[in-house]
Amino acid sequence: MNNPFDLSHIQDEKAEREARRLKLRTNLLIALFCAVLLFFTAVLYQAQIIDGDKYLSNSDVRDVQTEGVDSVRGEILDRYGRVLVTNEISYNVTLDYAAMGTERNDILSQLLDICKEEGVTWSSDLYISETAPWTYTSATPLTYQRENDDGEMRTLFTYLGSLSKKCGWWDDKEPEPAAPELLQAMCATFGLVEEGEVPSQRDRELAGVLYELYLRLREVDNSEYLFARGVGITFISKVKERGLTGVHIDTATTRKYETGYAAHVLGYTGAISKQSAAHYKELGYPSNATVGVAGVELAFEEALHGVSGARRTVKDRDGNMVSQDWKQEPEPGDNVVLTLDIALQATTEDLLAQYVTRQEEEDQKPISAAVVDMTGGVLALASYPTFDLTTFRENYAELNADPDAPMLNRATHGMYSPGSTFKMCTAVAALSTGAITTREQIECTGKYLHYPPPYQPACWIYPGRHRMETVTDAIKDSCNVFFFEAGRRTGIAQLQEYASKFGLGEYTGIEISEYKGWMAGPEASAHFNQEWYEGDIMNASIGQGTSMFTPLQLANYVATLVNGGNHYQCHLLKEFKSSDYSRVTQTFDPQLKDSIDIAPEHLAAVKQGMHDLSKTYTMARWFDPLPVEVGCKTGTAETSSKAASINAVFVCFAPYDDPQVALCLVAEGGDGGGTLSELAAGILAQYFSTGSSLSTVTGENTLLR
């Protein structure tokens, strides 16, 4: 009989069930492992056996590219640390020729459609007109190497000429083809048209882009092409939506202008031109770098630019990136602090604009101004009409066609006879050489009677007369007869010497572009195929004749005079600061160019005449309200221009007892130098109310600039 309390058979059954479960789990795990192993075996078989040749070729053929990376450009500030030009993030479009493959033409056609939809302009320097009939837009677009009249071989080649030869579009041993022939050959080479087919407008546009791509492949060994700058988000979205292979959108920095003033001084940036490509290549710039083109941007290019970087990218033959690393990390540029006072600059430009708009519409004429301190530091440099740095590229054609040349900086490139403002130079030369004395009186009868008739030049007051004049009286009254005699006694050689020492007809040394001008004399007359006569010294002595100076030269001449004869180089640079503003990397020290030994009594006599002029009724109503005493001189310069019979010239300095600032104003076609006294008073009022005492208030936790 079985024992009802025996449970061993139950335990055996339970153990048997557990064994079966363990065996099942083990079998499942083995099956799963085998499945995974089989899957990896299949993947390896696919990669090694089936696709092995493909991956082997890809691993063997790699495209290693080193691309230049622009550094972050430094900021530009005025003398008080106010930011004038900074940077903002933008997006640029670059094209990769290799990545586009056989779909290149279709990709580019879609890209151009997007550009037209979004109003984006692209970069292309194909020297063939953009619309039919096709013509060359450069005088010698295909010239490669030619012989000049002396038998000397001169290289005049352009990239188009060189590339035409290499691609078989044109052989320099044959006559240059007409533009339609070259365009047809190019389009046929690019696969845009059949041989002999006439290219369309779209074919011309595509040819321009393809030319740029071929250019970089063959000439500059860089397959990336900076197609467009500063594109918008909508443009980027459309490019991404269409998945245009080889069209890359890269972040970049572009210039942002924090002021609408000083356009001529600040200048602008742009792409490297073909003419300067070799220079920037030596400096290590990437071919797609942004560089200064004009003004301060160009003058301090290397400091602002910093150090360009170099990035190495490895791609397989399908254009897939394999690796990327830095060969040279970019270093940001220094910040440039100018001597410019943007508040004074703004006041000056506004006053010039008001002066012009107050005139009758048909009489509006350009005007310019230059303001310097006693060591040549430029405080303001203005020219009207002017332009807007933020929009001038879009309006370039209109600006360039404007007869008043708004992009011309008349303060440094305007050439004007100084008129009576030159009389102080004549006075110093005559006094210093002993030709006259401070107490000597010369009689003005209204005409200069030294020469027999008919050559007896008149004073401006004729038929009136000034009677007996000292040098101080003559400066106040602007007596021509006095200075005819003083100049004749001094001689043209001495006048030229002193003019040169004052910097008249000489480069001022300012960092931006300027004209030199010239002083009247036998050399200037010979240059203009004119005869120099003894009597021509009369005109030279009163600032007429062939003497031509810039407003900046005239302002610095007055500064040199009233500071006692120290002629300093004009300059815009105050200092360079590191990119983080933590330290000053370079400071400009005033550069003494020349020194004139002016006796104190001679200087006092000349300055007194300028001060007395400021107290006459015409001037006093503008200068008396100022907190400082002023010395000034007017000038009315004759010109041969048909558009205007005279130019108005005005120079002044202040304070009288301790000069700090000198300025010059020139109005083309003005009514006389005296009409500019109101403008000069307004500029001086701005300077002495804020300019000389302005300080930057810095709060806590603010980075000092």
- Pair of tokens at residue 56: 């082997």
Counting residues of the chain whose pLDDT is more than 70, the rounded percentage is 87
> pLDDT (tens digit, 9 = 90+) per residue, 313-351?
776 665 566 677 777 788 899 999 999 999 999 999 999
Are residue 236 and residue 217 in the same domain, yes or no?
yes
Domain assignment present for 60 = no
Reported as a pLDDT band with limits 50, 70 and 90, residue 705 is very low
Could you give the CA distance from residue 691 to residue 689 in angstroms, rounded to a whole number? 6
Considering the domain architecture, whether residues 359 and 306 belong to the same structural domain is answered as no
- Would you say 145 and 153 are in contact if contact means Cβ atoms under 8 Å apart? yes
Whether 156 and 212 have beta carbons less than 8 Å apart is answered as no
Neighbours of 598 (CB within 10 A): 21
508 is a domain residue: yes
* CA-to-CA dists, residue 634 to 201, 414, 495, angstroms: 59, 18, 20
Q: Which of 260-264, 304-308, 570-574, 578-582 has the lowest mean pLDDT?
A: 304-308
pLDDT confidence of residue 65: 67
Residues 6+ apart with CB under 8 A from 490: 426, 429, 430, 433, 435, 541
Partners of 469 in beta bridges: 442
| Gap between the Cα atoms of 619 and 179, Å rounded | 63
Shared domain for 238 and 346, answered yes or no, is no
Top-confidence residue, 241 or 150: 241
In a shared domain, residues 167 and 187? yes
Angle between helices 104-118 and 233-242 in degrees, nearest 10: 150
pLDDT of 396 = 85
Average pLDDT over residues 41-45: 80
- Least confidently predicted of 310-324, 353-367, 441-455: 310-324
Using the predicted structure, report yes or no on whether residue 209 has a pLDDT greater than 70: yes
The answer to whether residue 479 scores a pLDDT higher than 80 is yes
133 assigned to some structural domain: yes
The string of pLDDT tens digits covering residues 82-103 is: 999 999 988 989 888 878 888 9
Number of domains in the chain: 3
Report which listed range, 182-196, 202-216, 406-420, is most confident.
Answer: 406-420
Mean pLDDT of 552-574: 98
In three-state secondary structure terms, 594 is strand
Q: Which of 596, 592, 566 is nearest to 659 (CA)?
A: 566
The pLDDT of residue 691 is 45
Which pTM does this prediction carry?
Answer: 0.78
pLDDT at 612 > cutoff 90: yes
Residue 57 belongs to a domain? no
pLDDT band with cut points at 50, 70 and 90 for residue 394: confident
The mean-pLDDT minimum among 13-27, 186-200, 201-215, 327-341 falls in: 13-27
376-395 mean pLDDT: 93
Mean pLDDT of 285-303: 92
pLDDT digits (tens, 9 = 90+) for 661-690: 999 999 998 777 678 999 999 999 999 986
Distance CA 475, CA 543 (A): 13
Last residue of a domain, one of 253, 269, 296: 253
Mean pLDDT calculated for residue range 473-498: 96
Residue 701 has pLDDT above 80, yes or no: no
The boundaries of the domain holding residue 171 are 96-253
Single residue among 187, 218, 253 that ends a domain in this structure: 253
330 lies in the same domain as 391: no
- pLDDT attached to residue 354: 92
- Please check whether residue 308 is in contact with residue 290, taking contact to mean a CB–CB distance below 8 angstroms: no
- Given a cut of 90, whether residue 410 has pLDDT beyond it is yes
Res 297: pLDDT? 97
Kindly report the backbone phi and psi dihedral angles of residue 550, in degrees, each rounded to the nearest multiple of 5, phi listed first.
Answer: -95, 155
Task: Report the candidate in 103, 224, 219 with the shortest Cα–Cα distance to residue 161.
Answer: 219
Write out the H or E segment, with its range, that includes residue 371. strand 367-373
Return phi, psi of residue 654, to 5°: -165, 155
Mean pLDDT across the chain, nearest whole number?
86
Distance CA 573, CA 578 (A): 15
Query: d(Cα 544, Cα 594) in Å, to the nearest integer?
Result: 25
Q: Does residue 687 lie in a domain region?
A: yes
pLDDT value at 638 more than 90: no
| Residue 361: band (very low, low, confident or very high) from pLDDT cuts 50, 70, 90 | low
Lowest mean pLDDT among 7-11, 123-127, 349-353, 565-569: 7-11
Task: Indicate whether 118 pLDDT > 50.
Answer: yes
Averaged pLDDT, 450-458: 85
Confidence at residue 639, expressed as pLDDT on a 0 to 100 scale = 65
pLDDT of residue 316: 64
Per-residue pLDDT for 60 more than 60?
no
Tokens linked to 355:
């002066």
- Same domain, yes or no: 279 and 238: no
Residue 32 inside a domain? The answer is: no
pLDDT tens profile 126-156: 889 988 899 988 776 776 554 444 444 444 4
Position 640 confidence tier, pLDDT thresholds 50, 70, 90: low
Residue with more model confidence, 394 or 698: 394
Q: Identify whether 476 is part of a domain.
A: yes
Residue 30 within any structural domain of the chain: no
- 700 pLDDT band, cuts 50/70/90, is very low
Average of per-residue pLDDT across 519-524? 95
Per cent of the chain over pLDDT 90 is: 57
CB 199 within 8 A of CB 184: yes
pLDDT of residue 274: 78
Q: Of 66-70, 108-112, 123-127, 278-282, give the range with the top mean pLDDT.
A: 108-112
For residue 310, the model assigns a pLDDT of 72
Check: CB of residue 262 under 8 Å from CB of residue 244.
Answer: no
**Domain of 465: which CATH number?**
3.40.710.10
CA distance 65 to 404: 48
pLDDT for position 661: 98
CB 420 within 8 A of CB 634: yes
Band (pLDDT 50/70/90 cuts) for residue 698 is very low
Q: Are residues 115 and 161 in the same domain?
A: yes
Based on the fold, state whether residues 369 and 463 are members of the same structural domain.
yes
Most confident of 204-213, 304-313, 355-364, 552-561: 552-561
Query: Which of 291-305, 309-323, 544-558 has the weakest average pLDDT?
Result: 309-323
Task: Report the CATH number that the domain containing residue 275 is assigned in CATH.
Answer: 3.90.1310.10
State whether 233 and 311 are in the same domain: no
pLDDT above 70 (res 442):
yes
Last residue of a domain, one of 188, 219, 253: 253
Same domain, 447 and 539: yes
Are 537 and 580 within one domain?
yes
Q: Which of 116-120, 173-177, 478-482, 675-679 has the lowest mean pLDDT?
A: 173-177
Report yes or no: 365 and 385 within 8 Å, Cβ to Cβ: no
Could you tell me if 469 and 563 lie in one domain?
Answer: yes
For 124-246, list the strands marked E by DSSP. Answer: 145-147, 153-155, 224-228
- Whole-number pLDDT of residue 704: 40
pLDDT band at 59 (very low <50, low <70, confident <90, very high): low
At 428, list the tokens: 């110093």
